[in-house]
């Protein structure tokens, strides 16, 4: 017979007609409630020995389970009553209630009770679960549902016993550590930490008075060694100056700054202090002792000598100062007194500023500058170029411009030195300037002509050259260059015109352009009107300023703002102020004697075609010789 067929059988002790079609009869429900109460009571008894908090949780879970079961029973009862209304249908219809689902809920609830109260720690023996519906299933012949196996109760007492032991042990250790820490704090409240040193003395676990006694014993045998320039070292004993230690509370202050509750740090970190040792001594006795030293005696005092620059072995050198050994007594005594006050065991006067010093030492910046200047004078070499010629200024000349005193030291007189340079540059200009000098040539006409004056030729800018030369000499430069010029020629030498130039014969009213000695251009012209003294074309040697095309030539500016004349030209080539070559398309004839009465305002008037030709071949700087 199947399980479902067995469920259809009604209990024999059910007489109530209203129970037909129900899943549980009234008796079944009563039995089920009794079993549940027995299971709850058994579970409660098993938890009597648990801690209060566990028992409380178990009781709450039991109450929740009872409420859940009561709710399910009420729902099942209501469903059975609804089905009993139609008795005919209830008799012919098989019950569809699945008791296994309800029992599974009860099993899960019981498992939750165990899990919430005992935890997950398993034991070696499995526990038999409470089965509140075992009797009911036996009465109905229903097999028990599958149960979760392997779950076990937990050793609650053993677990909490271990926790109690661990807690007690920890508490004891904390109390013990607190006692040790407190004892250490009290112990070091008047003692220095382990690893503490003061003035080189190990003061670990010492009181302030013990440390002061150690310092006092340290200074009992004090002495100081005095070293001096050119003398053997001498010793001053502490006993000879009543040297002793006087406590002043400095050690107590260090101890007060110590925080006792940090005493543990001393085992891991050293602390070093420097306390000022309050020393007492007789200052007059100390001064007397110093004056008795050999270094302070009058016969051993040697004054210093200044350093200086001298010319030796063809070069300039610094002769070092002589230090001497003359003490400044006040400074020496102060140095000694400071050393004694600091308990120093040695003082070296030669390493201290206690001696008279030379006014000028070998590291004096001014002396070094003088030496540099002197050496630069002899290092400088300036080579001037004049075409193919050169002229050199070097140490052989410059050294004679320097002045020395009776000690061989350079007299640094800038004005005198500049004067020497000025004289040299003037001689240079005299030898090489050509501006304004007379040039003698053989004119194209065959006659010999001497042309003087004008603006063409070499001229050294003497003021600019003096400044540059002074700078080059004083910085020791070696250079090759041309002098500074204020006027330039075409070539250097006695004939600074060369063989490329323009010859303008004012008497013949004809001009020639020579290039490399050959005529490449010639033309007649009209020069300045000789009837007016201020219009005559000037003579001399000039050079072309520039060339411009086109331009407007203007005379003097009149009071009304207009010009004396305005002449537009196509080609303009000036060489002497406002005088130059240009085209004159207003003239129909050139050359001859026109210039005597109908000449220009001073310019060289050229036929337009000739002016254009000249414009294309002339260049800036070309020499132009003007003569009658």
Q: Residue 24: pLDDT above 70?
A: no
Give the DSSP letter of residue 164.
H
The phi, psi pair for 182, rounded to 5°, reads -65, -40
What confidence tens digit (pLDDT) does each residue in 576-610 have?
999 999 999 999 999 999 999 999 999 999 999 99
Fold exhibited by the domain 366-437+455-487: Ubiquitin-like (UB roll) (3.10.20)
At what angle are helices 26-46 and 52-84 packed, to 10 degrees?
170
Quote the CA–CA distance of 367 and 309 in Å, as a whole number: 7
Q: How many other CB atoms are there within 10 angstroms of residue 169's CB atom? A: 10
The domain 501-627 is classified under which CATH number: 3.40.190.10, 2.40.440.10, 3.20.20.140, 1.10.1040.10? 2.40.440.10
Q: In the prediction, which pLDDT does 36 show?
A: 52
Residue that is written with structure tokens 């085209």 in the block: 583
Q: Is 603 a catalytic residue?
A: yes
Domains of the chain, residue spans: 3-154, 366-437+455-487, 501-627
Residue 154 banded pLDDT, cuts 50, 70, 90: very low
Averaged pLDDT for residues 548-563? 94
User: Tens digit of pLDDT for each residue in 115-151?
Assistant: 554 444 444 444 455 455 566 566 666 666 555 444 4
498's torsion region: left (phi>0), alpha (psi -120 to 50) or beta? left
d(CA 398, CA 314): 13
DSSP states of 496-551 as a string? -STT-EEEEETTTTEEEEEETTEEEEEEE-B-B-TTSTTTSPPPEEEE----BSSE
366-437+455-487 shares its CATH topology with 501-627: no
- For residues 341, 347, 350, 353, the Cα torsion angle rounded to the nearest 10 degrees is -10
Residue 523 has pLDDT above 70, yes or no: yes
Separation between Cα atoms, residue 297 and residue 79, nearest integer Å: 135
Q: What pLDDT is stored for residue 103 in this prediction?
A: 52
| pLDDT band, residue 173 (cuts 50/70/90) | confident
No. of helices (H) and no. of strands (E), the chain: 17, 27
pTM of the model: 0.47
374 is catalytic: no
- CA gap 332, 42 in Å, rounded: 107
For the chain, what is the largest distance between any 2 Cα atoms, rounded to a whole number of angstroms? Answer: 179
Q: Which of 563, 564, 576 is nearest to 604 (CA)?
A: 576
Tokens 């009776």, located at residue: 406
Q: How far is CA 548 from CA 505, 553, 612, in A?
A: 24, 11, 11
Q: Which of 203, 432, 576, 582 is catalytic?
A: 582
Beta bridge partners of 322: 305
Average pLDDT score, the chain: 82
């Amino acid at each position: 017979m199947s399980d479902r067929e067995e469920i259809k059988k009604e209990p024999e002790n059910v007489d109530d007609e209203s129970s037909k079609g129900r899943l549980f009869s009234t008796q079944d429900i009563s039995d089920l409630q009794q079993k549940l109460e027995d299971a709850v009571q058994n579970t409660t008894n098993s938890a009597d020995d648990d801690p209060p908090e566990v028992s409380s949780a178990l009781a709450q879970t039991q109450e929740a389970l009872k409420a859940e079961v009561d709710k399910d029973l009420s729902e099942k009862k209501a469903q059975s009553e609804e089905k009993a209304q139609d008795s005919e249908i209830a008799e012919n219809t098989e019950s569809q209630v699945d008791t296994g689902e309800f029992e599974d809920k009860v099993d899960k609830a019981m498992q939750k009770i165990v899990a919430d109260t005992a935890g997950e720690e398993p034991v070696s023996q499995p526990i038999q679960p409470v089965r509140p519906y075992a009797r009911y299933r036996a009465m109905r012949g229903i097999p028990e549902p599958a149960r979760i196996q392997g779950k076990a109760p937990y050793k609650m007492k053993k677990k909490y016993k271990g926790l109690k032991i661990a807690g007690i042990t920890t508490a004891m250790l904390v109390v013990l550590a607190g006692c040790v820490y407190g004892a250490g704090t009290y112990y070091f409240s008047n003692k220095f930490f382990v690893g503490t040193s003061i003035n080189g003395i190990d003061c670990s676990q010492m009181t302030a008075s013990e440390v002061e006694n150690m310092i006092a014993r340290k200074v009992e045998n004090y002495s100081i060694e005095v070293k001096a320039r050119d003398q053997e070292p001498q010793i001053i004993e502490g006993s000879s100056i009543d040297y002793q230690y006087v406590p002043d509370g400095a050690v107590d202050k260090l101890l007060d700054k110590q925080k006792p509750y940090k005493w543990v740090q001393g085992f891991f970190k050293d602390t070093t202090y420097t306390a000022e040792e309050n020393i007492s001594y007789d200052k007059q006795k100390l001064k007397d002792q110093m004056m008795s030293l050999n270094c302070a005696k009058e016969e051993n005092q040697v004054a210093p000598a200044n350093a200086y620059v001298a010319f030796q072995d063809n070069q300039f050198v610094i002769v070092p100062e002589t230090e001497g050994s003359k003490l400044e007594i006040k400074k020496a005594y102060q140095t000694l007194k400071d050393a004694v006050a600091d308990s120093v065991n040695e003082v070296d006067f030669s390493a201290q500023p206690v001696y008279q010093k030379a006014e000028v030492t070998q590291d004096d910046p001014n002396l070094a500058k003088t030496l540099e200047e002197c050496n630069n004078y002899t290092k400088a070499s300036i080579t001037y170029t004049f075409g193919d010629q050169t002229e050199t200024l070097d140490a052989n000349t410059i050294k004679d411009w320097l002045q020395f005193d009776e000690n061989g030291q350079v007299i640094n007189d800038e004005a005198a030195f500049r004067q020497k340079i000025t004289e040299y540059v003037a001689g240079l200009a005299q030898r090489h300037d050509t501006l304004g000098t007379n040039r003698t040539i053989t004119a194209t006409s065959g006659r010999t002509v001497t042309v003087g004056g004008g603006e063409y030729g070499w001229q050294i800018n003497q003021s600019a050259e003096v400044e540059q030369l002074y700078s080059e000499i004083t910085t020791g430069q070696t250079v090759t260059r041309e002098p500074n010029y204020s006027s330039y020629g075409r070539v250097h030498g006695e004939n600074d015109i060369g063989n490329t130039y323009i010859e303008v014969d004012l008497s013949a009213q004809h001009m020639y352009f020579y290039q490399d000695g050959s005529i490449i251009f010639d033309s007649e012209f009209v020069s300045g009107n000789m009837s007016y003294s201020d219009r005559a074309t000037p003579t001399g040697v000039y050079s072309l300023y520039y060339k411009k095309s086109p331009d407007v030539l203007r005379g003097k500016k009149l009071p009304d703002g207009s010009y004396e004349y305005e002449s537009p030209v196509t080609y303009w080539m000036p060489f002497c102020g406002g005088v130059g070559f240009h085209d004159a398309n207003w003239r129909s004839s050139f050359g001859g004697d026109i210039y005597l009465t109908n000449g220009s305002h001073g310019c060289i008037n050229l036929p337009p075609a000739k002016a254009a030709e000249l414009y294309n071949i002339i260049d800036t700087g070309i020499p132009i010789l003007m003569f009658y």
